[in-house]
Amino acid sequence: MTTIVHVNEQDEILLTFVDKDGKASQAPSSVIPTWSVDDPSKATINPASDGRSAVVVPVDGAIPAGSTSVDVVVTAAANMPDGTALKPGSVTLTLTANVAVGIVLTAQAPVPKV
């Protein structure tokens, strides 16, 4: 599934810990995940204080036309009760420039005829 985020939008990403079978699981409350984007010149990431979610915001002017992708990665340094280490999670977002939907005309101040 591709998530498209326009430059005038932001996207909240939610984290769910999963077990070895991919089912929702609990992690120790002391685990605070670390979030990052692969190219901070394209988007910033603002994690919640508990690390269980983060908001991705495209950088103004970074995508003047067309689209580009950024990878969001989250890691957590912790071993689970069964001794396994937490695997990182990631998602790719497509950042796109705003699409024109109309035309605006602006009259300028009149000047003498030439």
Q: Edge-to-edge, what's the strand order for the sheet holding 67-75?
A: 3-6, 89-96, 67-75, 34-37
Structural domains of the chain ordered from first start: 3-96 (2.60.40.3440)
When pLDDT is averaged across residues 77-93 and rounded to a whole number, the result is 77
Percent of the chain with pLDDT over 90: 46
User: pTM of the prediction?
Assistant: 0.77
Name which residue leads in pLDDT, 101 or 59: 59
Cα 59 from Cα 62, distance rounded (Å): 5
Confidence of residue 73 (pLDDT cuts 50, 70, 90): very high
